[in-house]
Amino acid sequence: MSERSMTVELYHPPLEEQDAYDEMSSAEGACRPHWAALMEAMDELGPEELGQRWARAERRIRENGITYNIYGDPQGVNRPWKIDMIPLLLPAGEWQSIEAGIVQRAQLLSQIVADMYGRQTLLASGNLPAELLFANPAFLRSLVGVPVPTQSYLHMIGVDLARSPDGQWWVLSDRTQAPSGSGYALENRTIVSNVMPDLFRDSNVMRLAPFFRAQREALLSLAGTHSPRIVLLTPGPHNETYFEHSYIARYLGFTLVEGADLTVRDRTVFLKTVEGLERVDVILRRVDDSFCDPLELRGDSLLGVPGLVDAIVAGNVRVANALGSGVIESAAIMPFLPGLCQLLRGESLKLPSVATWWCGQPYALEWVLQNLESLVVKPAFPSRAMEPVFGSDLSPEERERFAARLRAAPYDYVAQEQVALSRGPVWEHGSIASRSLVLRVYAVNTGNGWTVMPGGLARVASKDNSVVSMQRGGHSKDVWVLSDSPVDTFTMLRPKNKQIELRHDKPCIPSSVAHNLYWLGRYVERAEDTTRVLRTVVWRVPRAGRDELDCLLALFQTLGIEGGKLPKSRKALTLPQRFEQELLSVLTDGSRADSLPFTLGQIHQTGGKVRDRLSTDMTHLLGKLRDVLPTTPEETLMAYPPILSNCMELLSGFSGMERENIVRGQDWIFLSLGRRVERALFNTRLLRELARPFAEKDWPLLELLLEVADSSVTYRSRYFTTLQPLPVMDMLMADQSNPRSLDFQLAHIVHHYRKLPRHLPEDLQAMQHALERLRSFDMRKVSYPLPDALQTARSSSGILRLRRLLDETEELLLTWSDNLSSRYFNHARTLAINIGQ
């Protein structure tokens, strides 16, 4: 699955440094003119200032949540994206020839793909070996002959380039189905241009936004309808480049979806939303083509949409790039491109491919076998799993065995020359070092020709690695194409040529997004409740007497924590120590579902899935929340109160933004419902502590409850200092003006739920009834003995009724939440089961 899409499997011979082309310095060691301004600016700032600026930039990378997933590494999910401070600079003149070469290549590849899935004249004429289709697993037969608009076969391509010692750029590989990295390129630009903003402004760097505008317009025109719905189909958060999927979706204004968010009805693709099914016109896909439809393509795919191929055949949806376009990612096509370019375009190929031999040609096979020493052999079709083989590494016997393997299925292999990469400057530990690099360039088909992103994504190898791979510790670089004249400073936020129509509506949201927002709301509130309780308890425990300890324990258990390390008997002598251990465990053990680190992890995860719905500031806060707990757990409880305060501040910041910075659309309703339901549940647990006979030693609990419910000040202003159970209960349960009372939560749930489309009348009623029951509950009938008095019979029946009320309310909240799920979320993300015979 797009495995290692950001890897260039490129192995270069260990060149002496002076042999490689140096991007920055000429052979004589002088700085090339187009680097002079950058070097001067860096000299002027000095390493210390640059270091500080870069530290700020790196913080921004973390806070923006710019991440990259490393496969097969438990710590690999959501790694911060690695950027080098120094951009790669290319002068305009040189860029123009790259650009022309890319445009020609894109046109040529499109023509070839269209022929492969169309009349196949290139096969009949013998200009293209039939093996390139028939032995190629990426050739999807279901898509042959399907009418597809020409510009959607290849909507976008990525081309990996490397520069040889003589300064010539060579194509290493073509990415033709779902090229990744353009979003990272954009993010690199944002970060790097801010490190030296003056330099950036003065350098006439060609902007990236026009490229994305072109992409957006290309997709809109592909739809062919007035106001189309365009979705970006991602394999999900575990994909290597998921960050970019969500980033691009937000940037282009498309809906981010996974396969299970879509369904095919009547040969038409629909998005499952909170409002019901919404037709989808265009799918910009980041899922590999064979995984896109488990019904007609790979039956084992969990990422696709059953029936998608048929919807494409029926002409009811456009997919970019078209399914099947991966067929031309094969390196085996490379030796044929010069001839095909002449044949199809009457031109010579402008950008050469790295020297490649397809072993399916008998003379090429013989040549490869004779020159194995200097070649690297790879699978002709990228989907075949095989590590590249270096001829120079093979012993004579291995060589013989390998030769037999090549002869058995020669069409399955290509051999390539090993490429000497150019080197460019990188910022490392406060000074400039030199590393090998490759450049990925992007082009998009607008329907009226191709637009090339000026720049792209450069990647540098890590120090001791000959593979340029983000998977193996490489860095990326921003690429500045330096124009000779002022540049187009268009940004996506300010379209120049069109008057925007004012809109106050919010588009309806996918069911899975509603689901994640609801749970984000619940987890944020859960984290807040946990933090409040822990903050109240932690610093008191070490010096608490026996009675107070019992109260602290009771409060702690309102978190719904069961068992853990606590002794069964509250009389146990070891209780204080065990309690401290338990608190530490809840503060540090991320494997416990009731721990603070677990809840914060859930916030980060669900938040990450809806980051395209949250403001940048909220995303920043989520980034900070992830880092709020120390990476190595503290050993003493006393280290935690300041950490908890910090956590509390961030959570309050988040709820403030939630209230003030989100438009009251459906997004917000689901987020708020999550928060209200979670707080109501917490409330019932707090109140249950009051639904029992109160002995004198329990009275300190009242103060703790007020502190946790943030209601101490109000209590004091109303009742001065006398703490009694009833007024506390009133504040936590019935006070309609207290945002932490149970009444407040239920009232708001009713208020929000009513606004949801397709809400269930019976669920609305149930919640209204619960609120009425709560309001008609006569608290005065619950009587507690005053500290000195004896318990009366009357009090216990009141307490029982209170307990029943709380039990019923809790039960209702849980059922109601389940019903909400099945009404709005359940049909999303249900995996289909394959029942093929």
Partner 1 sequence: MRYKVTHRTAYRYNYPVSVGNHLACLRPRALATQRLESFTLNLSPVPGEVIEREDYYGNTLHLFSIQEPHRDLVVEAQSEVEVLATTPTYGSSVRWEEAAALLPQDHSTSGLDAYQFRFESPRIRLRSEFAGYARQSLTPARPLREGLLELTDRLHREFRFQPNATSVSTTVDEVFARRRGVCQDFAQMQIAMLRSLGLAARYVSGYLRTTPPPGQERLVGADASHAWISVYCPGEGWLDLDPTNNVVPGTDHITVSWGRDFSDVSPLRGLILGGGVQALKVGVDVEELPALATAAP
Minimum CB distance to partner 1 smaller for 331 or for 610: 331
Closest approach of Cβ 562 to partner 1, in Å? 31
- State which residue, 350 or 827, has the beta carbon closest to partner 1: 827
User: Site for partner 1 (CB under 8 A): which residue of 133, 161, 538, 600?
Assistant: 133
Q: Which of 135, 322, 514, 614 binds partner 1 (CB under 8 A)?
A: 135
| Four-residue CA torsion sign, 94, 450, 123, 378 | positive
| Lookup: tokens for 242 | 């998921």
CA 555/CA 561 separation, integer angstroms: 11
Q: Which of 36, 144, 663, 695 binds partner 1 (CB under 8 A)?
A: 144
Residue the block writes with tokens 């509950």: 777
Q: Which of 18, 75, 125, 632 binds partner 1 (CB under 8 A)?
A: 125
Q: Between 294 and 674, name the residue whose CB sits nearer to partner 1.
A: 294
Q: How far apart are CA 808 and CA 814, in angstroms?
A: 10
Told to check if 827 binds partner 1 by CB under 8 A, we report yes
The whole-angstrom separation of Cα 34 and Cα 825 is 55
- Please, which residue, 312 or 517, has the CB nearer to partner 1? 312
| Strand ranges (E), 309-408 | 318-320, 356-358, 375-379, 389-390
| CA–CA separation, 531 and 237 (whole Å) | 27
Of 795, 789, 774, 799, nearest to 692 by C-alpha is 799
- CB of residue 265 to partner 1, shortest distance in Å: 6
Among 134, 392, 506, 641, binds partner 1 (CB under 8 A): 134
Q: Smallest Cα–Cα separation from 109: which of 324, 329, 289, 280? A: 329
One character per residue 365-404, x = contact with partner 1 (rule: CB under 8 A):
---------------------------------------x
- What is the number of other CB atoms lying within 10 angstroms of the CB of residue 544? 18
Strand-pairing partners, residue 417, are 375
Query: Would you say 131 or 525 has its CB closer to partner 1?
Result: 131
Q: Does 29 bind partner 1 (CB under 8 A)?
A: no
Asked if 291 and 301 count as a contact pair (C-beta separation under 8 A), the reply is yes
Cβ-based nearer residue to partner 1, 116 or 643? 116
Nearer to partner 1, 178 or 264 (CB): 264
φ and ψ of 318, to 5 deg: -110, 140
Q: Judge contact between 9 and 160, C-beta under 8 A.
A: no
Phi, psi (degrees; rounded to nearest 5) at 739 = -65, -5
Out of 119, 201, 265, 754, which residue is the one contacting partner 1 (CB under 8 A)? 265
Question: In whole angstroms, what is the distance from residue 785 CA to residue 627 CA?
Answer: 47
- Whole-number minimum distance, CB 277 to partner 1, in Å? 11
x/- letters, 799..818, toward partner 1 (CB under 8 A): --------------------
Torsion angle defined by CA atoms of residues 48, 49, 51 and 56, in that order, rounded to the nearest 10 degrees: 150
Structure tokens at 58: 């790196």
- Side chain identity at residue 508, one-letter code: C
Q: What are the angstrom distances between the C-alpha of 320 and each of 43, 153, 159?
A: 45, 7, 17
Confirm if 1 and 303 have CB atoms less than 8 A apart.
yes
Size of the site for partner 1 (CB under 8 A): 40
How many angstroms separate the CA atoms of 93 and 482, rounded?
9
Q: Does 833 bind partner 1 (CB under 8 A)?
A: yes
Pairing, β 422-428 against β 450-452: unpaired
> What is the nearest approach in angstroms of partner 1 to the Cβ of residue 31?
53
Per CB under 8 A, the list member of 5, 263, 273, 606 interacting with partner 1 is: 263
Q: Which is nearer to partner 1, 43 or 818 (CB)?
A: 818
Selected range binding partner 1 among 36-44, 142-150, 625-633, 653-661, rule: CB under 8 A: 142-150
Closest CA to 207 of 418, 492, 427, 464: 492
- Binding partner 1 (rule: CB under 8 A), the pick from 132, 264, 553, 705 is 264
**Separation between Cα atoms, residue 531 and residue 548, nearest integer Å:** 20
350-362 residues labelled b (16+ CB within 10 A) or e (exposed) = bbbbbebbbbbbe
Q: Which of 41, 130, 344, 760 binds partner 1 (CB under 8 A)?
A: 130
409-468 residues near partner 1, rule: CB under 8 A? 409, 411
Nearer to partner 1 by Cβ, of 161 and 369: the residue is 369
> Which residue, 130 or 657, is less far from partner 1 as judged by CB?
130
The whole-angstrom distance between residue 397's C-alpha and the CA centroid of its chain comes to 47
Q: Which of 359, 802 has the CB closer to partner 1?
A: 359
Among residues 265 and 463, whose Cβ is nearest to partner 1?
Answer: 265
Q: How far apart are CA 576 and CA 566, in angstroms?
A: 9
- Token pair belonging to 155: 């909507």
* 345-364 footprint of partner 1 as x/- string (CB under 8 A): --------------------
Q: Which is nearer to partner 1, 313 or 766 (CB)?
A: 313
Residues 287-326 that bind partner 1 (CB under 8 A): 294-296, 299, 306-307, 310, 313-314
Output the smallest distance, CB 830 to partner 1, in A: 5
**Neighbouring C-beta atoms of residue 144, cutoff 10 Å:** 13
Q: Does 119 bind partner 1 (CB under 8 A)?
A: no
Q: Which of 408, 502, 790, 793 binds partner 1 (CB under 8 A)?
A: 408
* 633 contacts 587 by C-beta, under 8 angstroms: yes
Per-residue x/- marks for partner 1, 41-80, CB under 8 A? ----------------------------------------
Which residues lie near partner 1 (CB under 8 A)?
A: 120, 123-126, 130-131, 133-135, 141-142, 144-145, 263-267, 294-296, 299, 306-307, 310, 313-314, 404, 408-409, 411, 827, 830, 832-837
